[in-house]
A and B are shown apart, each in its own frame.
Chain A
Amino acid sequence: MKLATSLFSYAYEWNSGQYTLEDVIAETRKRNLGTGLEIIGFQSLRGFPFISNETIKEVKHLLEKYEFEPVALDANIDVGIKRHAKMGIDETVEYIKPQILAAQKLGFPILRCQTTAPAEVYQKLVPFAEKANVVMGIELHTPYSVDHPSVIKMTEMFEQMQTHVLGFVPDMGTCMRAIPDALLNSFKTAGVTDEMIAITKEIWHKDIPTPTKFGELAQTLVPMGATPPQIGRLNMAFSMNGRQPVESWKKIIPYVVHLHGKFYGFDENGDEPSIDYPAIFKVFHEGGYNGYISSEYEGSAFTDEFDAFDQVEKQHQLWKRILQNL
Chain B
Amino acid sequence: MYEKYMIVPERAKKNEKGFEIGARLPYYRGVSLSMVEEIEVSLDGETLPQSDVVITVHGNSYNLEQRENELDDRWEMGEVATLSVAKESDLKAGEHTIGLKINLRIGYMPFPSIRVAEKTVVIG
**What is the interface of chain A, defined by CB distance below 8 A to chain B?**
8, 11-12, 14-17, 40, 42-43, 46, 48, 76-83, 86-87, 114-116, 186, 190, 210-211, 214, 228-229, 232, 235, 239, 300-304
Report yes or no: A17 in contact with B114, Cβ–Cβ below 8 A. Answer: no
Report yes or no: B77 in contact with A42, Cβ–Cβ below 8 A. Answer: yes
For B37, the chain A residues whose CB sits under 8 A away are: 83
Report yes or no: B2 in contact with A15, Cβ–Cβ below 8 A. Answer: yes
Report yes or no: B107 in contact with A81, Cβ–Cβ below 8 A. Answer: yes
Say which size band chain B's interface belongs to: 20 to 34
**How would residues 1 to 32 of chain B score, 1 for a CB under 8 Å from any chain A CB and 0 otherwise?**
11011000000000000000000100011111
Known: A15-B77, A17-B5, A79-B108. 6 other contacts (CB 8 A): A16-B78, A17-B24, A78-B106, A87-B107, A186-B1, A239-B109
A260 to chain B, nearest CB (A): 13
**Residue B52 CB within 8 A of the other chain:** no
Residue of B nearest to A210 (CB): B110
B64 to chain A, nearest CB (A): 11
**What is the interface of chain B, defined by CB distance below 8 A to chain A?**
1-2, 4-5, 24, 28-32, 34-35, 37, 68-69, 71, 74, 76-78, 80, 105-114, 116
Report yes or no: A42 in contact with B31, Cβ–Cβ below 8 A. Answer: yes
Residue of A nearest to B101 (CB): A229
Complexed CA–CA distance, A83 and B103 (Å): 13
Report yes or no: B77 in contact with A11, Cβ–Cβ below 8 A. Answer: yes
Which of A15, A115, A239 neighbours the largest number of chain B CB atoms within 10 Å of its CB? A15
A163 to chain B, nearest CB (A): 24
- Can you pick out 19 interface pairs between chain A and chain B where the beta carbons lie within 8 Å of each other? A11-B2, A12-B2, A14-B78, A15-B2, A16-B5, A17-B24, A42-B31, A76-B108, A77-B107, A78-B31, A78-B35, A79-B107, A79-B108, A83-B37, A210-B110, A211-B110, A232-B112, A235-B111, A239-B111
